[in-house]
Structure formats: C-alpha cells, structure tokens
Amino acid sequence: MTRQPIGAAEEARALLDALGVPAAALSGGDRIARTPVTGEEIARPVETSPADAVLGIDRAHRAFLAWRNVPAPRRGELVRLFGEELRAAKADLGRLVTLEAGKITSEGLGEVQEMIDICDFAAGLSRQLYGLTLATERPDHRMMETWHPLGVVGVISAFNFPVAVWAWNAALAFVCGDSVVWKPSEKTPLTALAVQALFERAAARFGPDAPPDLSVLLLGGAEVGEVLVDHPRVPLVSATGSTAMGRKVAPRLAARFARALLELGGNNAAILTPSADLDLAIRAVAFAAMGTAGQRCTTLRRLFVHEAVYDEVVARLRAVYARVTVGDPREDGVLVGPLIDPAARSAMSAALGE
C-alpha cells in the first residue's frame, strides 16, 4: 500500500515536536502562523507583550553579568555544543525552514549549514580574542589591551533568512561574552522557537556555567522590536530587513549612542558587456533573480545589457525561465517555491505592473 504524504501543516507540527518546542508555545496566540506552501495554519504561537519584552531584556542583562566572567575558550565550548545540536537536527530544522518560509529544500538545508559553519568559526575564535601588549616609557611597566564584552546584543531578523542571520550574530556574541535577545520576523516565529529549543539543549549539556536567559526570544511585531531598539541596556542592535525599517531603527539607536549593524534591502544590478562570458552570466543572473523566490536582499532586480548582446541575452534568459519549475518547495526538481504571503504577492504584482 502506498502511504499518502502528510500535509505541510501536520509535517511542520511533527518537526516542531521533534525539535523540542513545547506544545504550550504553539497555541493561544492571536497571530496565525501559516505555511506558504499550502496556506494551512500551523500554529498560533504566544507573542511577547512590550512589558514582557522589557522584562526579558532585563533577564538577559543579568545573564550577561555572569557570562562575561566565564573564560572565552569555555564560552566557545557552548557554541561548539550548539553546533553539534544543529548537526543532529539539520534535516528537521532545514525542512521546517522550507515549510515556514517556502524555501526549496536545498536552500533550507543550506541555511542550517551556515549556522553550523559560524559555530565552528566562533568556537575557534574563542581562543583568539587577543589584546596588544604595548611598550611604555616607565621602567618595569607595560600596557596591556583588554577587550570587554558589550552586554545584551539585540538581533532583529527577517523572514527570508529566518535562522542563519540570528546564528551569525549570536555565535559571535556568545564567545565574546554577550547575551542575546532575538526578535524574529513575525512571519517566521516557528523556526525561531525551534532554534531556541536547540540552544537550550546545548546549554543544558554545557552545565551551570551557562546562566539562564543567555538567549531570550521575543515573538511579536514592530512594537516588540521598538522595545529592543529603545532599551538602554541593549548597546548593540543588529537588524536585518527593509530599508524602511532601517531608516526608523538607525536614528533611534543613534539618539542613545547605541551601535547598529544594519543589513537592509538591496536594489542589485548586473551589467553585461560584449566581453561577458554569457554562459556564466546567464546562470548567475537566473540564480540571483530567482533564488529564494527573489525574496532576499541580494536578489538581482536590474539587468543592464549592451545592445551588441541584448538579443542573445534576452532569448537565452527566456529559455532558462521557461525550463524552471515553480511549485511545492519540498518536491525534487522545484527551483522556485512560493512567496511568503499574500502581501508579497501583491507587492510583486504591483512591481510588474509598474
């Protein structure tokens, strides 16, 4: 007998259970988490109120006060253990990225691999946090440079890279002695819950040197992000998202002399001249324009083609697009999955119309 494949929502719930997300975190909320693959409801995760967000940041600050005193190589051990948890859960977490964000399978797995890679890098970095020893004019004296951790590092991530962006920031922050407060996109809360569960597994294996609330997760919309941006105990905020979001975040951080790491939307272009290697260029253009359904900051949006090669380039691109399979990102051979939600579809339609 042939077993019928389970639905996208049912599969996502099974993955969340396997990854250690408690059932209580997936119900009782007002915002519906859907899979863009079928539009089915997966869960209604409980969101964080602004008041609770403040309390969460305060808890993370207390964790930082303890964590900064743990030797850096020991901090690197926690990140190494987290990398082990990610390796063991790569297939499940990558599949959940596909189901919640709509990425094709290779993209979902690739994103988790990027998390593993940054853990490897950060674990090695934990033994390389050097400071200079400087000569001084005073006899029998020397000057020593020592770098201190910042404190609570805020991370605001976007739906199109729902887990890797957090890991890039968090792995480095942890080895440097900082705690992390994460506000994921309200469009992808479930992968964030899964990552938090995996980190807590690693922390439990690490032992009592890892204080509670070293990683704090805040689920919610812009109002929760504003709390993170404005809180005086968050000296650095790394925010990934639209340029509109960046224009709001940067002045508010500057007003309180906090630091900003902004990775915002792009308007990327390629220029093809008569000397271009068209075989290579066509592949690069197609991947840059269609990868992750064109929903990433590095997506190609503009193509400038010299008139001498224009006709050939257009004809070859038409042929490439005609062969691309758009559909369920879980299926073999599908290269373009769904847009994240109806708003993204409307924005795309408006852009095409314009």
The span from the CA of 176 to the CA of 288, in Å, is 34
| H-run or E-run covering 271 | strand 268-272
Q: Which residues are registered as beta bridge partners of 302? A: 269
Beta strands 33-34; 41-43: pairing state: antiparallel
The span from the CA of 209 to the CA of 329, in Å, is 41
208 phi, psi to nearest 5 deg: -70, -15
Catalytic residue among 40, 84, 200, 297: 297
DSSP 3-state of 26: helix
DSSP 3-state of 264: strand
Alpha helices, H only, 143-239: 164-176, 189-206, 222-230
Catalytic residue among 107, 263, 307, 354: 263
Dihedral sign computed on CA atoms, order 198, 202, 205, 210: negative
Q: Which residue has the tokens 């599969």?
A: 11
Alpha helices, H only, 273-325: 278-290, 310-323
Annotation marks residue 263 as catalytic: yes
The conformation of residue 305, written as its DSSP 8-state character, comes to E
Q: State how far the alpha carbon of 239 is from the alpha carbons of 37, 175, 243, 253, 342, in Å.
A: 27, 20, 10, 11, 24
DSSP 3-state of 327: coil
Vertex 281 angle, CA 278 and 283, to 5°:
110
Annotation marks residue 297 as catalytic: yes
Residues in the chain: 354
Give the residue from 83, 58, 52 showing the smallest Cα distance to 174.
Answer: 83
Cβ neighbourhood burial of 232 (10 Å; 0-12, 13-18, 19+): exposed
Which active-site residues does the annotation give?
Answer: 263, 297
